[in-house]
Every structure is written in structure tokens, then in C-alpha cells.
Structure 1
Amino acid sequence: MGKNKTKELAVLAVLTALSVVLAYIHLPTPTGYLTLLDTGIYFTAFYLGSQSGAVVGGLSGFLIDLLLGYPHYMIYSLIAHGLQGFFAGWKGKKRLLGILLAGVAMVGSYFAAALLLGYGWGAAWAGIWGNIAQNILGLAAGGFTYLAYRRSGKR
């Protein structure tokens, strides 16, 4: 493995760990809690692109479910947040479409997961608003963090 690949792998590992730590921050809402997991995913996708966004998104979603005791959601989170990171990393003229698809992929994946896990239509529909709110919060916080980082001149 070359030096650049090792550095890239190390950066992805740090961003994955940071995203997992952000997921431990719970913001109470009237219907449950929002986490900052999506903040790390969006920052990574904006900073490093689709492939890195998919890796960090999928791994951090997978790991946080393992660590918080939701092993039945691990595969669904891998897919949901992996797709979220992939689409969010689209650049140029496809950026807005990618952001929209990132939200739809995450919310839709968790909707399908609720049905596939046997929670029923009521639970699937009830989870939509919380997932939309978490996605918007992550997009705003991750986007602003990326803009602040870019303006700082660090590269």
C-alpha cells in the first residue's frame, strides 16, 4: 500500500470515528432524539467526495448501531448512511440532486427497514419526520462545518 493510500485510509478512519462520536450527542425533540451522525457524513461527502462519503457513512451507521445495542439495524444503517454519503458527495451541477437523493435514500431506507423488521406501517410512517429532521440538521451542520473548514485555508 502506497503512502497516499495509507494517508487516505487514516483520514477515513478518523472521520468514521468522529462521526460515531457525534452520534452519541443526542438532541431531544418532542418525538424522540436527533443525533449528529449525519453531520460527519455530510462533512466527509462534501470534503472528500462520493466514495469517501459512502465509506464513512456506511461504517459509522453500522458501528453506532452495534455500539448502542441495535444490531438488527446494522445492515440497514450501513445501506442508508452509505447511500446518503455517496449521493451527498456528488459535485458540480449534480450537487443539489445529490443532496436531495441523500435525504431520500436515508429516509426511505429507514422506512423500508421498519417494514422489513416487522414494526409495521404505523412505525414506518412515524419515523419519517424524525429522519427528515436528522437529515436536515446533519446537512446544515455538516455543510457549515465544511464551509468553515474551506474558508480557513486548510487543505
Structure 2
Amino acid sequence: MSTKEIVYLAAMIAVTVAISRVFLIPVPMTHGNVNLCDAGIFIAALLFGKKQGAIVGGASGFLLDLISGYSQYMIFSLIIHGVEGFLVGWLAEKYGHLGKIASLIVGIVWMVFGYFLADSLLYQIQTGLVGLPTNSIQGLLGALIAYPVYLGIRSRVKNPSHS
């Protein structure tokens, strides 16, 4: 990894965590929250690819839980958001324009499923079920923000791993 790529990824992680903390809606029934973490993960994955999407996803989810008081989710978020970023980046690279849209849908489904499992393991299956609509809203909101942002900046941002 080049220094430039490390700087880009660190900046994406910082921005993702910051916007997620600013727009944070606690959901007491699930012991979690609705935030914009997925928007940052999707933007990073679409711009930079699977490896970088995984790094931004895992680190952002982990750090957000750490500083938000949801430490019980840190490892789950590392894995769930890391895989989410990887899947979105991989599918977007592999299948072109329509793949980018499909990759966001796959990312949302994976994230919702992952947190259903996490909530069910940490608490009970009912908690996992309650989280399905809120996590779906979070993922959809992230995609609705990320895709237009990606379209607007893609020509101005160079992938540091290709330079």
C-alpha cells in the first residue's frame, strides 16, 4: 500500500466515523442505532474497490461502535461492515454500471442479515427481528446518499492504488 492510499483510506474512515456520529439515531429496542456509516463505506468501495471498501467498512464500523458506547458490537461491526465494503467493491468492479447499483443492494442485504445475526446472538431473535426494518432503512439511506455522491466525485478522485 502506498502512502497516498493509506492517507485516502484514513481520511475516508475519519469522514465516515464523523458523519456517522453527527447523524446518529439510537434504537433502544435493538441496543443499536441508525447512522450514515453505510454511506461512507459505499462511497469508498465504489471509488476504490473491494480491499479498500473492506478496510474502510471494518475500521469505520469498529471505531464507531467503540466511541458510541456500543462496544458489544465492535467485532461484529468489524466483520459485517468489512465484508459489506468488500462485496460492494468487488461486485462494482466486476459488473460495471449496473453492477454498482446491484452491489449496493447486496451490501444492504448482507449488512441487514449480519446485524440480524449479531442482535440474535447478543440478545435474542426478537431483537434481531426488530432490527430488520431499522437496519434496512440505514442501508437504503446510505445507498441513496452514496450513489449520487459517487457519481459526482468519481471523475475527480483517482484511485490511489492505480497511481
| Fold in common (TM above 0.5) | yes
CA contact (8 A) 1:65 1:74 kept: yes
Picking from 103, 117, 123, the partner of 1:98 is 103
Q: Once structures 1 and 2 are overlaid, which stretch shifts more, 32-41 or 75-84?
A: 32-41
Distance 2:25 2:54 in 1: 27
1:62 and 2:79 are equivalent in the alignment: no
Picking from 141, 148, 153, the partner of 2:152 is 148
Picking from 133, 138, 141, the partner of 1:134 is 138
Task: Give TM-score scaled by structure 1 length.
Answer: 0.87
Residue 24 of structure 1 aligns to a residue whose secondary structure is helix
> How far has the Cα of 1:54 moved from its partner?
0.5
Distance 2:81 2:27 in 1: 24
Segments of 5+ residues of structure 1 without an aligned counterpart are none
Deviations 1:109-145 (A, max 9, x none): 100001111x212111000001011001101111111
Which stretches of structure 1, 4 residues or more, deviate above 3 A after TM superposition?
27-33, 94-97
Residue number in structure 2 paired with 1:48: 48
Deviations 1:6-44 (A, max 9, x none): 111111011001100011122659998531111111100
Segments of 5+ residues of structure 2 without an aligned counterpart are 159-163
Alignment CA distance shift 1:29-1:5 (3 Å): closer
Deviations 1:76-103 (A, max 9, x none): 0111111111111122424444333211
Distance 1:31 1:75 in 2: 20
Q: What code does the residue aligned with 1:107 have?
A: V
Residue number in structure 1 paired with 2:74: 74
Distance 2:27 2:9 in 1: 34
Alignment CA distance shift 1:78-1:130 (3 Å): same
1:35 and 2:27 are equivalent in the alignment: no
Aligned residue pairs total: 150
Distance 1:154 1:78 in 2: 26
CA RMSD of aligned residues (A): 2.2
1:114 and 2:119 are equivalent in the alignment: yes
Residue 154 of structure 2 aligns to a residue whose secondary structure is helix
